[in-house]
A and B are shown apart, each in its own frame.
Chain A
Amino acid sequence: MALVINHNKPLSTSPLKVSAPLGAAMAFLGMEGSLPLFHGSQGCTAFALVMMVRHFREAIPLQTTAMNEVSTILGGSDQVEQALHNMVKRAKPKIIGLISTALTETRGEDMAGDLKGILARSKDLAGTSVVYCSAPDFEGSLETGWGKAVGAMIRALVPGSSSQPPLKRVNVLAGCHLTPGDVETLKEIVEDFGLEPVMLPDLAGSLDGHVPDHYVPTTLGGTTLEQVKGMNRACLTIAVGEHMRQCAETLEERTGVPFVLFDRLTGLEAVDKLMVCLSTAAGMPVPDKYRRQRSQLVDAMLDGHFFFAGRPVAVAGEPSFLWTYASLCADMGAHIVGAVSALPSPHLSQLPSETAIIGDFEDLEDQILEAGGADLIIANANARLIAGRHGIPLHRAGFPVFDRLGAAHQISLGYRGTRDLIFTLGNILMEHPGHGHGTSLPVQHAEHAHGDPAVAAG
C-alpha cells in the first residue's frame, strides 16, 4: 500500500510526462496505412515526431495543420481541410487520426462539427477514414492520449453488436507501455491457443523495424480497417494496463463482447492468469510450450532472487509502466524506495512502496536521496542525468529510450519476457554490489570490515 502524493508544483523540473497528443499519434501509428495529423502549430508535430524517431529509430509519418497567427485568431477549420486534401493527394492514407492540441483546444474549436462539414463536401476524402481525437496537451500524458485515441477509433470504426455468433477471435487492447516486441509476443501467445488476435493498436506490425521493398509514405503495417470492423465478432476482449479499462468498457458497451483487464502481463502470477483466461476462452489446455516456459521462469526466480532481496530500487514512468516494473521487483524481494508516476491513477495506492509521487525526475531524485540511495533506477532515458550524478545504474525502459538500440524489441511480457527481464535486472544488481543493503558485499570489502588478518598478525 502506498501513500499517493501529488504536490501539484508550479515548476516541473526534468519532466517525466510527455504530451497527450504524442500518445494519441502513437496509437494511430499502430494502424495500417495510417498518417496521423496534429491540429496545431508545426512545432507540436516536429517535437513529437523527433522524439518518436529517436526512440523507434524508424521514419514516423506525422503531419501538421501548421497553424499560424492568423488562423489561430480566425479559426483553423480551413487549415484542417487543406491538410486533409494535401495528405490524401500525396500519401493516400487509409486512416488519418486528426488530433487536437493545446493551441486549438484553448481557442475552443468545434472540430467534430467542422470535420463533418469537410467530409460531406470533399469527394477525395471518401476513401480515407478520418478519426477525430481530442487530446489537449494540458491534460494528462502519454497514456491519456493513447487511451483517447483507442477510444476514438473504437467509437468511429467498430460496428455495433453482431447478430452472428462470435468467432474464435480475441480483441486485444494493448496499452502504450507494451513495446512492439511485447505486442508481438502477446499475439503469438493468443495464436498458440488457436485463437485469432485482433490488436488495437498493433505497433508490432508498424514499428517493429523492418525494411519494405518500396517507398511507403504512411505506416509500414499494423491493424487493418477490415480487422477493426470484425472486432464485434470476437468472443473476448483482453485489455492490458489500467489505462485501457475505459476503452474496454466502451468496446463492451458497443459490441457486447465481454472483457478481461490485466493490470500487467509481467510476473509469474500475472502470466498465469492470462494462461487460464485464454485456456478457458479456447476450450483447450495450456500448450506444453508454456508449461515449459513457466518452469523456466520459476527457475529464473530461484536463481535470481538472491540479487534482488532487500535491494533498494527506484522506478519512474507512466502509471502502467511503473505498476509493471515496481510490482515485478517487489515480487522478487526488492525494496521499492522510489516510485514516481507521470499521472495519477486509482491503482497507484496499491503499489508495493511506502509512497508514490505524481511528479517528475526531480521528485525521483529527492525520493532516492531521502532513502539514502538506490541500487537501481528503472525509467526512460531521461533518467540518465540523475543516474549519472549519483552513480546509480539505470535500466532504460518505457518511453523515450533514445540512447540505446532495440527499445522496440525489449520484451518483458509473458513467462519468457519475465524470465529475461529478471536476468537483465539481476545482472545489473549482481554487477553493482550497492550500498551494503544487499547480500553481495564484495569480498575485499567484507574482509576489510572485519580487519585485515595479515595486519592483525603483524
Chain B
Amino acid sequence: MLKQKIQDLFVEPGCAKNQAKSDKDRKKGCGKPLTPGAAAGGCCFDGAKIALQPITDVVHLVHGPIACEGNSWDTRNSHSSGSQLYRLGFTTDMQNLDIVNGGEKRLYKAIRQAIKRHNPPAVFVYQTCVGALIGDDVEAVCKAATERMGVPVVPVNAPGFVGSKNLGNRLGGESLFEYVIGTHQPDDVGACDINILGEYNVAGELDQFRPLLARLGIRLRCSITGDARYLDVASAHTARANMVLCSQALVTLARKMKEKYAIPYFEGSFYGISDTSEALRAIARMLVERGADPTLTDRTEALIAEEEARAWARLEPFKARLKGRKVLLYTGGVKSWSVIQALQEVGMEVVGSSVRKATAEDAAKALERLGGDEDKLADAITPRDMYAMFKDGKAEMMLSGGRSQFVALKARTPWLDINQERHVGYAAYDGMVEMVRQIDLMINNPIWEQIRKPAPWEV
C-alpha cells in the first residue's frame, strides 16, 4: 500500500532531523504543510522523475494526462555519456474516455508499443494524480507486462498530490530498492567499487570527480542515478561502500542497502574544496576497512594535498576582483556552508544564506561560518524583501535557483544559477574554481554600469 510506504518513509532512523521529532510530528512527514495561494515547488511525481530520469537507457513512461509529461519533458539538465533514450517524453496522454473507462488497458498497450519500438532494458512507469484517483492499478499492469513481455517494467507509485518533491525523490528510491537493485550479478566485482546516491550528473558534474576517483583506483559502480545504465543500477548491490550526496533525498535507500546488502554508507558532498577532501577521505577509509589495499589512505592524502593546493592557487587571482563584494546565497539542494567557505576564502562577504532545506547540522555549520550572526540565516525570504535588499545595496549579487532569478535581474543585479537547471558544473575542486570564475564573470560584467544609468531624459 502506498499509504503504508509513505508512513514508513516518515520514520527514518538514518536521518538526524527525523529522529529528533516526537512520534506525532513524525507522522506528519517531512514537508511543511503547504499554504494554498502561497506555495511554490514541485509535486511528488516531479521528485520521483528527478530522482530516476537520469537513468539513460530506459523508457520513462508517465501514466497521466498531458500536463505531467507534456509540460516537463527533456527539461532537466542531466547529462548522458551514452544513450539518449531518457530524453524522450513518453506518456499515455489520458483522455476524457480513459478517465471514465479506466486507463489500465491504454497503459498496457503503451508499454508494449514502447518496448516494440525502442527495445529498452527496462521501462519505468510513473503513476500520477489522475491515474491514482480513478484507481488504475499501475503495479498490477507492470507485473503483467513484465511477465508477458520479458522486459522489467518498474512501477513508480508517486502521484503528485501525496506530497512534496522530496517525498517523490524518496519514493523513487523505494522503487529502485524494491524492483531493480540486486537483480543483476556482474562478473567484474572489485574491492574498490562504490556507489554515489543522489547524484544526477547535472551539467555533467560526474566528470568533475569521477577522474579523481579513477586516479585512486576507485571505480564508480553506479551513480544513482546520474548517467546510470539500467544494468549498473541492478548491480549496485555489489559495491563496497555507498556515498549519499543529497542526504535528505536518498538516505533511506542507503540505509536499506546497508541492512540488506551490508554496504556501509556515509553522507558527504562534492560541493566545496574541504567537503570534497572530506568525502574522498571517507570513501578511502570505508574501502580500507572493508579490505581494500591499505596504501589507499596515503594515496588519497597525497591527492588531496595536491588538488587543494592547486585549487587555492587557482582561486588566488580572483581575490582582488571579488574582495568585499556582498553576495546573497539562496539555495535549496547545494550545501550552503561549504559554498560560504569558498566565497569567504576569495574575500566575498556573504550577507545572507537560506537554510530552507538544510539539516540542523548543516544550518549550525553555516551559522558558524557566518560568525554566529543569526540575522544572516533566513528560512525563506519573500521576493519583495529580496528585491528591497538589492535596491538598497545590501546585496550586490545573488546565487540561487532559476525560480528567483528575475527578482535579482529586474533589480538590475547580477545573478548566478546554482540549481539543477544550471549549465555549468560546480562539483569538486575544479567545479568550485569554476563557480568563483563564473561569479567574477557575472558580477564584473560591463553591462551593469551601462544599464544602471538612467536614460538621458530622466537626468
A binds B: yes
Which A residues are within 8 Å of any B CB, using their own CB?
9-15, 17-19, 21-22, 37, 40-48, 50-51, 53-54, 58-59, 63-69, 72, 79-80, 82-87, 90, 101-103, 106-107, 136-139, 141, 211-212, 214-215, 217, 382, 385, 402
Establish whether residues A102 and B36, one from each chain, have CB atoms under 8 Å apart when the complex forms.
no
- With A18-B66, A22-B67 known as contacts, the answer to whether A41 contacts B161 (CB < 8 A) is yes
Mark contacts of B78-89 with chain A using CB atoms, 8 A cut-off: 1 yes-contact digit, 0 otherwise: 000000100111
Establish whether residues A385 and B88, one from each chain, have CB atoms under 8 Å apart when the complex forms.
yes
A51 partner, pick from B66, B71, B93, beta carbons under 8 A: B71
Chain A residues whose CB sits within 8 angstroms of the CB of B402 once the complex forms: 50, 53-54
Establish whether residues B160 and A86, one from each chain, have CB atoms under 8 Å apart when the complex forms.
no
Name the CB-closest residue of B to A96: B37
Chain A residues whose CB sits within 8 angstroms of the CB of B163 once the complex forms: 68
- With A42-B42, A84-B37, A103-B129 known as contacts, the answer to whether A137 contacts B65 (CB < 8 A) is yes
Establish whether residues A106 and B384, one from each chain, have CB atoms under 8 Å apart when the complex forms.
no
B73 within 8 A of A: yes
CB-contacts of B121-136 with A (<8 A): 129-130, 133-134
Chain B residues whose CB sits within 8 angstroms of the CB of A12 once the complex forms: 66, 69-70, 89-93
Query: Which of the 9-residue segments B206-214, B287-295, B367-375, B406-414 touches chain A?
Result: B406-414
Establish whether residues B37 and A46, one from each chain, have CB atoms under 8 Å apart when the complex forms.
no
- With A47-B72, A382-B74 known as contacts, the answer to whether A10 contacts B41 (CB < 8 A) is no
- A–B complex contacts, Cβ < 8 Å, 7 sampled: A13-B89, A17-B93, A41-B43, A50-B403, A82-B35, A102-B64, A103-B161
Chain B residues whose CB sits within 8 angstroms of the CB of A214 once the complex forms: 387
Name the CB-closest residue of A to B385: A215
Additional A-B contact list (12), CB under 8 Å, known A9-B113, A19-B71, A69-B162 = A10-B109, A11-B110, A12-B66, A19-B67, A43-B46, A53-B406, A65-B36, A102-B99, A137-B65, A138-B66, A138-B98, A215-B410
Name the CB-closest residue of B to A107: B133
Q: How far is the CA of A213 from the CA of B65 in the complex (A)?
A: 40
Name the CB-closest residue of A to B61: A11
- With A9-B113, A82-B35 known as contacts, the answer to whether A44 contacts B130 (CB < 8 A) is no
Establish whether residues A106 and B91, one from each chain, have CB atoms under 8 Å apart when the complex forms.
no
Chain B residues whose CB sits within 8 angstroms of the CB of A21 once the complex forms: 67
Establish whether residues B134 and A106, one from each chain, have CB atoms under 8 Å apart when the complex forms.
yes
Q: Which 5 A-B pairs have the closest CB atoms?
A: A43-B43, A83-B37, A86-B37, A19-B67, A83-B36
Looking at the assembled complex, report how far the CB atom of A25 sits from the nearest CB atom of chain B, in whole angstroms: 11
Chain A residues whose CB sits within 8 angstroms of the CB of B91 once the complex forms: 11-12, 15
Q: How far is the CA of A85 from the CA of B38 in the complex (A)?
A: 10
Establish whether residues A212 and B410, one from each chain, have CB atoms under 8 Å apart when the complex forms.
yes
Q: How far is the CA of A90 from the CA of B40 in the complex (A)?
A: 14
- With A11-B90, A14-B88, A83-B36 known as contacts, the answer to whether A42 contacts B71 (CB < 8 A) is no
Q: How far is the CA of A230 from the CA of B75 in the complex (A)?
A: 42
Chain A residues whose CB sits within 8 angstroms of the CB of B66 once the complex forms: 12, 15, 17-19, 137-138, 141
- With A10-B109, A215-B384 known as contacts, the answer to whether A106 contacts B92 (CB < 8 A) is no
Establish whether residues A82 and B36, one from each chain, have CB atoms under 8 Å apart when the complex forms.
yes
- With A101-B67, A106-B99 known as contacts, the answer to whether A51 contacts B133 (CB < 8 A) is no
B30 within 8 A of A: no
Establish whether residues A43 and B109, one from each chain, have CB atoms under 8 Å apart when the complex forms.
no
- With A41-B161, A50-B75, A103-B133 known as contacts, the answer to whether A90 contacts B38 (CB < 8 A) is yes
Q: How far is the CA of A139 from the CA of B41 in the complex (A)?
A: 25
Q: How far is the CA of A90 from the CA of B384 in the complex (A)?
A: 10
Looking at the assembled complex, report how far the CB atom of A73 sits from the nearest CB atom of chain B, in whole angstroms: 9
Establish whether residues B67 and A87, one from each chain, have CB atoms under 8 Å apart when the complex forms.
no
Looking at the assembled complex, report how far the CB atom of B137 sits from the nearest CB atom of chain A, in whole angstroms: 16
Q: How far is the CA of A141 from the CA of B43 in the complex (A)?
A: 21
Q: How far is the CA of A114 from the CA of B152 in the complex (A)?
A: 46
Chain A residues whose CB sits within 8 angstroms of the CB of B407 once the complex forms: 59, 215
Looking at the assembled complex, report how far the CB atom of B124 sits from the nearest CB atom of chain A, in whole angstroms: 14
Q: How far is the CA of A236 from the CA of B353 in the complex (A)?
A: 55
- With A19-B67, A382-B74 known as contacts, the answer to whether A64 contacts B39 (CB < 8 A) is yes
A18 partner, pick from B36, B70, B106, B109, beta carbons under 8 A: B70
A47 partner, pick from B68, B130, B387, beta carbons under 8 A: B68
B69 partner, pick from A15, A63, A83, A402, beta carbons under 8 A: A15
Establish whether residues B92 and A46, one from each chain, have CB atoms under 8 Å apart when the complex forms.
no
B39, B71, B75, B110 — which one has the most chain A CB atoms within 10 A of its CB?
A: B71
B114 within 8 A of A: yes
B67 partner, pick from A9, A42, A79, A137, beta carbons under 8 A: A137
Establish whether residues A15 and B70, one from each chain, have CB atoms under 8 Å apart when the complex forms.
yes
Name the CB-closest residue of B to A65: B36
B74 partner, pick from A17, A87, A90, A385, beta carbons under 8 A: A385
Chain B residues whose CB sits within 8 angstroms of the CB of A86 once the complex forms: 35-38
Name the CB-closest residue of A to B105: A10
A10 partner, pick from B71, B96, B106, beta carbons under 8 A: B106
- With A21-B67, A87-B38, A90-B38 known as contacts, the answer to whether A102 contacts B92 (CB < 8 A) is no
- With A47-B72, A138-B99 known as contacts, the answer to whether A63 contacts B38 (CB < 8 A) is yes
- With A10-B106, A10-B110, A19-B66 known as contacts, the answer to whether A65 contacts B162 (CB < 8 A) is no
Chain B residues whose CB sits within 8 angstroms of the CB of A107 once the complex forms: 133
Establish whether residues B37 and A63, one from each chain, have CB atoms under 8 Å apart when the complex forms.
yes
Establish whether residues A59 and B406, one from each chain, have CB atoms under 8 Å apart when the complex forms.
yes
Chain A residues whose CB sits within 8 angstroms of the CB of B88 once the complex forms: 13-14, 385
Looking at the assembled complex, report how far the CB atom of B44 sits from the nearest CB atom of chain A, in whole angstroms: 7
B45 partner, pick from A15, A43, A83, beta carbons under 8 A: A43
B73 partner, pick from A11, A14, A217, beta carbons under 8 A: A14
Q: How far is the CA of A21 from the CA of B163 in the complex (A)?
A: 21
Name the CB-closest residue of A to B129: A103
Q: How far is the CA of A163 from the CA of B109 in the complex (A)?
A: 59
B383 within 8 A of A: yes
Chain B residues whose CB sits within 8 angstroms of the CB of A87 once the complex forms: 37-38
B406 partner, pick from A50, A58, A402, beta carbons under 8 A: A58
Looking at the assembled complex, report how far the CB atom of A454 sits from the nearest CB atom of chain B, in whole angstroms: 44
B447 within 8 A of A: no
Q: How far is the CA of A416 from the CA of B374 in the complex (A)?
A: 58
Name the CB-closest residue of A to B110: A11
- With A17-B70, A87-B38 known as contacts, the answer to whether A47 contacts B410 (CB < 8 A) is no
- With A11-B109, A54-B75 known as contacts, the answer to whether A19 contacts B70 (CB < 8 A) is yes
B183 within 8 A of A: no
Looking at the assembled complex, report how far the CB atom of A396 sits from the nearest CB atom of chain B, in whole angstroms: 14
Q: How far is the CA of A46 from the CA of B88 in the complex (A)?
A: 20
